[in-house]
Amino acid sequence: MPKSGQSVVDIQDLGFAYGDAEVLHGLTMAIGPREVFAIVGPNAAGKTTLLRCVERLLTPKTGTILIDGRDLKTLSARDVSRRAASVPQSHTPAFPYTVQDIVLMGRNPHLGTASQPGPHDVAVAQEAMDELGIRAIALRPYTQLSGGQLQLVLLARALAQEAQVLLLDEPTAHLDFRNRHVVLSTIRDLAVRLGLTVIMTVHDPNDAMQYADRVGLVSDGILIALGTPDEVLTAENLGRLYGMLIEVLTDGNRRVIVAGTPS
């Protein structure tokens, strides 16, 4: 684990509860620069809650979250959004904005209350669209896009925020097989090329196996394992996590997680 001096996101003893229902207990983890970190766990394990605490959409009950060494509690909404950009799991469009309008909204953290996006903001938005190869659809209504394209548009909006940390809540939840890999390899590529820190929740451990640098296994709001995919995503750990028989098949350097068959 990187020391807190090198880490970009530093989560210490994080606890969260909805009323009396405790969702997260004593989570501690540190995520470094250029790292793709996957949070893996079954439904209702607290993955999304953890991410929403880092986005500061939820206020933790205990513990602290540091981004770039700054306590999240001491930052304004604007400051948080300049440091961490997020892509929501689902998005309900209200109006048929163009793709460019949507990406431009990512510039909001850099704009004053009474100001509007200027030429520089448009340039940053176009760069973000180029980065994700969606410049050609810039003037199309975003309500007419496929799920994969919409995900890339929301990713471009997050890039336009020019934040160092990218938070993704199940980025592939509504995507088909091809788009799932397009989106995940794009995310991986962005982390390496732009030096971003990516934290994402995934529900298929294979996504973490293939695309993450490190993995945190979360079960009932507790971090039960933390490390590289090879260390953490073992048949034993996953079997315990999901309460089922699991096999990890190896083919050369690649590992694939499948449901086990009782012999």
Partner 1 sequence: MKRGRFAPVLLLMWLGVLAVLLASLCLGRYPVSPQTVVRVLISRFVPIARTWDATVETVVWQVRLPRALAAALVGAALASGGAVFQGLFHNPLVSPYVLGVSSGAGFGAAFAILLGASAAVTQVSAFATGALAVSLTWLVARSGRDRSHVTLVLAGFVIGSLFSSLVAGAQYVADPSTRLPQIVFWLMGSLASVQWSDLLRASVVILPCLVAITVLRWKLNVLSMGDDEARSLGENPGMMRLVLIGLTTMTTAVSVAISGVIGWVGLVVPHVARGIVGPDARRLIPASIALGAVYMMLIDDVARTLTMAEIPLGILTGIVGAPVFALLLRRSRSDWD
From the CB of 114, what's the least distance to partner 1, in Å?
5
CA 15 to chain centroid: 19
Select 157 or 180, whichever has its Cβ closest to partner 1: 157
Cβ count near 240 (within 10 Å): 15
Q: How far is the CB of 217 from partner 1 (least distance, A)?
A: 26
Sheet with strand 36-40: strands edge to edge: 84-87, 165-169, 197-202, 36-40, 214-219, 222-227
Contact 225, 239 (CB under 8 A): no
Q: Which residue, 12 or 98, is less far from partner 1 as judged by CB?
A: 98
Residue 81 C-beta: closest distance to partner 1, Å? 3
Which residues sit at the interface with partner 1, rule CB under 8 A?
A: 55-57, 77-82, 85-86, 88, 91-98, 100-101, 105-106, 108-109, 111, 113-117, 122, 139, 141, 143, 161
Specify the residue, 7 or 100, whose C-beta has the smaller distance to partner 1: 100
- The residue among 55 and 213 lying less far from partner 1, judged by its C-beta, is 55
* Gap between the Cα atoms of 166 and 17, Å rounded: 24
Give min distance, CB of 167 to partner 1, in A: 8
Minimum distance between the CB of residue 97 and partner 1, rounded to whole angstroms? 5
Of the two residues 97 and 242, which places its CB atom closer to partner 1 in the complex? Answer: 97
